[in-house]
Structure formats: structure tokens, C-alpha cells
Amino acid sequence: MRPLVTGVVAVFLLGTPAWAQSEDQAQTIQALEKRLDFARHLLIDWAGLTRYGSENTELKPPAPGQNRVVFLGDQITEGWGEGEEKFFPGKAYLNRGIANQTTPQMLVRFRQDVISLHPKAVVIQGGTNDLAAVMGPMTEGTMAENFMSMVELAKVHGIRVVLASVTPVCDAYKKQTGLRPQGKIIGLNGWIRDYAAQSGSVYLNYYSALADGRDFKKDLTGDGLVPNDAGYRAMAPLAEKAIAEALAKQ
């Protein structure tokens, strides 16, 4: 893949003197290399099964009476704990988020990253990348089937389920609503809420805490898509409450 990157860069800069190469060109090259690396990784490991493989292998079984919880999701989950706001310190909670993932990818790794870890509960957060067609077009029916399959797998193995809403987006920093239409986010959240009630799961409404109207509150995000530390602080008590509710269910 690296020779391909070199070739792309060479073509891009052909005939351009070094002194004339602008900062914009350097950023374009960096973006191209990043996209090529992402495509290469997808070809090797589409579902992200190697992302947490080693950690899962080294993980000890939960202690008696311990309420282990797995957070399965995309960049919204993966980014939790990367800043100053830590990921539930002192709790037996495991972060199994992978940036840019869609619900079919999450479904493929559900056994490895959830069931095999023997949690008491799972928090399933996904859908924003399905709406953005990150891995190609996705119908509402297919998204629904992926959520349903994950919930059914969890319940067969005695794992309580929390279904999280899709978080809002805004265009305060860069264009986000074109890829993730706000009306579609609201529509998908309505389906997740109704299916949670139907399936005996708990609905975790991150959206209401993060949104101002239909927009992501500007002070709770740094890019209009992923929460910042303040955003995660607003989400944490909602997650804790939903987990407690799920664990209390018969």
C-alpha cells in the first residue's frame, strides 16, 4: 500500500516546485495517506476483530458478584476516556468502541467483544455511521435487523441490554448534517426507543442531554460529531442510571 501512496503523491506533485508546495497540498497528501491506510485496514480486518483481541484474551473472568458491563460502539464510545474525562474509573466497565464502525461490523464482533467477556450487561451504541453510509448504503430495515440480532444474542446468553440513542450532530465546526441528516437521526432514535420497550431492553437517551433543538450543543463537542470531555460528563450519569435499571430487571 505504501508504494501506492507514493505514486499518488508523486502524481499530485508532478511538475510542482518544492517551494510552491502549499500547506493545503501537504494536508491533502496527509488526508490521502490516511484514507489509503483506512482502506488497507478494512481489507485485512473488516469487522475489527483484531482491535481488542489481545486485551480480551488477557482479561480475567469477572469476580463473583462483579457487575461487568461492556460498552459496544463506534467513535462515540471509543473516544470516551481519551481526554481528561476518564472512562468510569473504578468500575468494571469495558470500552469496546471502534471508530467509523457500522452496526453490521458490530454484529460480527459481538460474540468476541461482548458474549465471550461474560458481562452482566451491554450498552449498544451505534447507527451514526450507518446513516452516513461509511461502509456503503444502508437501509432502515437492515439497521433494525442488526440491532435486533445483537439484542437477541445478548438475551440468549443472559446479558441485560441497554440501547443507546444516536447522538446529535451540528455544523458548528465542519459540515456534519449533510452526511448524517438530523431528521434521520431523530427517526432512528424513535425506532431504537420503541424497540427497547418492545424487547425489554433499557433505552439510554444521550440525545436529549447533548442536543439543543436538533443541533449538538457546541460546548459539548469539538467537531460537531464526537462529544468532548464536557459531553462525556453529561453522558456518564445517564449511562450509569440506564445500567442500574437494566441490572434490576428480572
* Integer Cα distance of 214 and 216 in angstroms: 7
Q: pLDDT tens digits for 89-144?
A: 999 999 999 999 999 999 999 999 999 999 999 999 999 999 999 999 999 999 99
Task: Give me the mean pLDDT over the 210-236 stretch.
Answer: 98
Q: 140 with 192: CB under 8 angstroms?
A: no
The stretch 52-66 carries a mean pLDDT of 94
Percentage of the chain exceeding pLDDT 90: 80
Distance CA 9, CA 211 (A): 41
| Chain segment 34-49, per-residue pLDDT in tens | 666 666 666 677 999 9
Query: What value does the mean pLDDT take over residues 71-94?
Result: 97
**Residue 40: its pLDDT value, please?**
66
Q: Is the pLDDT of residue 84 over 90?
A: yes
Is pLDDT at 4 greater than 70 in this prediction? Answer: no
> What domains appear along the chain, each with residue ranges and CATH number?
2-44 (no CATH), 64-248 (3.40.50.1110)
Say if residues 111 and 153 touch (Cβ distance below 8 Å). Answer: yes
- Residue 28: the pLDDT is 74
Distance between CA atoms of residues 242 and 236, nearest Å = 10
Per-residue confidence (pLDDT) for residue 34, from 0 to 100: 62
What's the mean pLDDT when you consider all of the chain? 90
- Describe the crossing of helices 140-156 and 182-199 by its angle, rounded to 10 degrees: 30
Q: Are 103 and 139 in contact (CB under 8 A)?
A: no
Confidence band of 69 (pLDDT split at 50, 70, 90): very high
Q: In the chain, which residue ranges form alpha helices assigned H by DSSP?
A: 2-13, 23-44, 53-58, 75-78, 103-108, 110-113, 128-131, 140-156, 182-199, 206-210, 229-248
Q: What was the pLDDT predicted at 6?
A: 45
* Grid cell locating 2: 505504501
Could you tell me the three cell numbers for 64?
463473583
**What is the reported pLDDT for 9?**
43
Q: Are strands 93-97 and 69-73 parallel, antiparallel or unpaired?
A: parallel
The count of other CB atoms within 10 Å of the CB of residue 35 is 12
Q: For 14-33, what is each residue's pLDDT tens digit?
A: 455 554 557 777 767 766 67
> What distance in Å separates the CA atoms of residue 73 and residue 127, rounded to the nearest whole number?
9
Q: Are 222 and 212 in contact (CB under 8 A)?
A: no
Return the pLDDT at 11. 42
Q: Counting beta carbons within 10 angstroms of the beta carbon of residue 156, is it exposed (0 to 12), middle (13 to 18) or buried (19 or more)?
A: exposed
